[in-house]
Amino acid sequence: MVLGEDDDGRRADRIVRKALSNASLSTIYRLFRQGNVQVESHSIKPDDRLKKGEVIKISMPEALIPAHDKKPEGAPSPSGNISSSKNGFCDLSKSETPRIIWQNRHLVAFHKPGGMLVHGGQASLNTYALGCLRDQLSPSVSFSPGPLHRLDRNTSGIVMFSKTRIGAEKFTAAIRNRQIRKFYISIAQGSISEPLLLYDIFLRDTQRHMSIVGKKGRPGSLYAVPLVKNGGYSLLLVELHTGITHQIRAQLAAHGLPLVGDSKYGGQKLSDTRSYFLHSYCLYLRDPLFGDMPSKIVDPLPGDFYTMVVALFDTSAEKLNTEILYRVEQLLEH
């Protein structure tokens, strides 16, 4: 295997663990001890740092191959071809498809449609993205490009995707260090006139696949700003401070503001609507990760979301966009 740019400087054991993902750690380190991992015909150690362009050879004795990885005689080899995934997705999608909002050499921001999984299967964003980017991705033994965070299936909006190891490491570190601010737009049942700062404790109900607000668990907070209201409905700009599963849906519902159509958390469906309306609208980076990266990435509301907003709140798309951007800028000043 020829090592690529994203393998440069990595420890040999990390590269081999990635290449032999189904092998146990004891098997991998036995390969090193027995001299079965080589570069340029020389045995290497687990902590050796490898370089781009080097050729690593792994000899796997038959006795060390896991039984479930042994191919029956005459069995066909997997194609490993992702080039058809992009076309395959077009057949599976019945509405909007993903699109690239922004990209550079290391990262790409995708618009994820509501109803699409981030991971899992030929119709996922991950599969679609790999198909779109296949000509831009450098070969690597130890690094796999992919989504850097998640959105629920029926939540639309921005998902960042790594092209390189550097991009993945920098974005992941920025999330961990709270250098990225996340803004969402939602339609909630109930009417509020003033911003709300909500702080709750969440416990995951694994049987019902829900996050429950209670007295023990993980703390989570968000800030909700009313943009427009009409009778029993409010259009909210939500800044999410923590990343708990279903947090916006569960937390707003716990405070009497379930998302319209979110029956899992007590929301009532409207006629001819999808399950609920929640959109990842803006990612703001306090310090852009690369010189050619903007501080703010914005994904406008998708068409069906706009249609519902106009119907419920008697407003125009132009007026709505102006109000959302104004409120985002207000929050960014604090």
Q: pLDDT averaged over consecutive 10-residue blocks of the chain (334 residues)?
A: 76 79 80 79 80 76 52 37 34 63 95 92 88 84 87 95 94 94 96 93 91 91 94 94 94 95 88 83 95 95 88 84 92 89
HSE of 289, CA atoms in CB hemisphere, 13 A: 25
Strands (E), the chain: 37-39, 42-43, 56-58, 99-103, 107-112, 156-162, 180-189, 196-205, 210-214, 218-230, 233-240, 278-285, 296-298
Instruction: Give the orientation angle of helix 125-133 with respect to helix 85-92, to 10 degrees.
Output: 140
pLDDT at 225: 96
Rounded CA-CA distance 19/276 in Å is 41
Encoded tokens for 109: 């921001």
Q: What amino acid is encoded at 61 in this protein?
A: P
Rounded CA-CA distance 57/39 in Å is 6
pLDDT at 64: 54
Q: Which domains does the chain have, with CATH numbers?
A: 5-60 (3.10.290.10), 84-177 (3.30.2350.10), 179-334 (3.30.2350.10)
Q: What amino acid is encoded at 253 in this protein?
A: A
